């Protein structure tokens, strides 16, 4: 399929979606969001084991394109575009990595926070700049940020509309790695290789347990974790893990 505002690359079990409006700092439009969903419709039915998001040029994304995001029913547009994307990424049983190659602001900040891992270029800046522009967050920043870095720092960043430099984001626990810009692609590839070395069903089950625990109490979460564990005992991965242990060799995951 041909896209106008994204690029979609596939390298074996890894897919990369590139936000591709570099002349506009990859600002979101509803067309771009529709293309992302179309790509996911195809990718998530394949034998995919990791998904990477990044941006073309000097930005991950500057957020929404305020000129091109108008519509007759903005609430429904946001639900169908942004909200559906965030919930899809949290629901997939595979790791999602954000490779933050520059500005990661507004709605792009929402997207990055919804990814499982964030690896940033050293000159990247992250933040929610919407309050100074007479808006508030709309697709997850107020939900995710306090859970990731704590209420005190999150309140400051969200209310003041602060941009957080990459190294400060690392100190806050907002990103997982910071690397020089020219090493970002290699660092992301190496990190994804670590993910590919893990058993995919178990990795997906662990992500599902984390996600379930966000919205349920401890007794329910314990039951859910146990059910995922028991289900895993019936799959080929568990049998391969036992064979590899007995034969003193590395496991071979399919």
- Same domain membership, residue 113 and residue 46: yes
- Same domain membership, residue 165 and residue 58: yes
- Same domain membership, residue 11 and residue 120: yes
- Same domain membership, residue 188 and residue 212: no
- Same domain membership, residue 162 and residue 98: yes
CATH label of the domain that carries residue 85: 3.90.226.10
CATH label of the domain that carries residue 216: 1.10.12
Per-residue pLDDT of the chain (254 residues; tens, 9 = 90+): 789 999 999 999 999 999 999 999 999 999 999 999 999 998 876 689 999 999 999 999 999 997 766 667 888 888 999 999 999 999 999 999 999 999 999 999 999 999 999 999 999 999 999 999 898 998 999 999 999 999 999 999 999 999 999 999 999 999 999 999 999 999 999 999 999 999 999 999 999 999 999 999 999 999 999 999 999 999 999 999 999 999 999 998 87
- Same domain membership, residue 98 and residue 217: no
Domain with 228, as residue range(s), is 200-247
- Same domain membership, residue 126 and residue 12: yes
| Pairing relationship of beta strands 125-127 and 96-100 according to DSSP bridges | unpaired
Strands of the sheet with 14-19, listed across from one edge: 6-11, 14-19, 50-55, 96-100, 117-121, 177-179
**How far is Cα 67 from Cα 5, in angstroms, rounded to an integer?**
16
Return the pLDDT at 47. Answer: 86
- Same domain membership, residue 206 and residue 122: no
Return the pLDDT at 1. Answer: 75
Identify whether 252 is part of a domain: no
- Same domain membership, residue 205 and residue 105: no
- Same domain membership, residue 206 and residue 179: no
Q: Is the pTM of this model over 0.85?
A: yes
The domain tally of the chain equals 2
């Amino acid at each position: 399929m041909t896209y106008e505002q994204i690029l979609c690359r596939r390298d074996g079990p890894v897919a990369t979606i590139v936000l591709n409006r570099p002349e506009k700092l990859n600002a979101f439009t509803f067309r771009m969001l529709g293309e992302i969903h179309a790509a996911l419709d195809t990718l998530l039915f394949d034998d995919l084991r990791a998904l990477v998001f990044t941006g073309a040029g000097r930005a991950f994304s500057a957020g929404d394109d305020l000129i091109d995001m108008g519509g007759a029913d903005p609430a429904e547009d946001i639900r169908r575009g942004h909200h559906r994307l965030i919930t899809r990424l949290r629901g997939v049983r595979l790791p999602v990595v954000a490779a933050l190659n520059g500005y990661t602001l507004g709605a792009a900040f929402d997207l990055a926070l919804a990814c499982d891992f964030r690896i940033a270029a050293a000159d990247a800046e992250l933040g929610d700049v919407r309050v100074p522009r007479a808006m508030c967050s709309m697709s997850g920043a107020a939900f995710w940020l306090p859970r990731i870095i704590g209420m005190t720092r999150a309140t400051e960043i969200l209310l003041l509309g602060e941009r957080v430099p990459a190294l400060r984001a690392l100190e806050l626990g907002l990103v997982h790695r910071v690397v020089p810009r020219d090493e970002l692609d290699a660092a992301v590839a190496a990190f994804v290789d670590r993910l590919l070395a893990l058993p995919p069903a178990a990795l997906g089950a662990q992500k599902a347990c984390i996600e379930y625990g966000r919205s349920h109490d401890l007794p329910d979460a314990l039951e859910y974790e146990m059910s995922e564990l028991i289900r895993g005992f019936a799959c080929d991965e568990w049998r391969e893990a036992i064979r590899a242990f007995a034969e003193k060799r590395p496991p071979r995951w399919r």
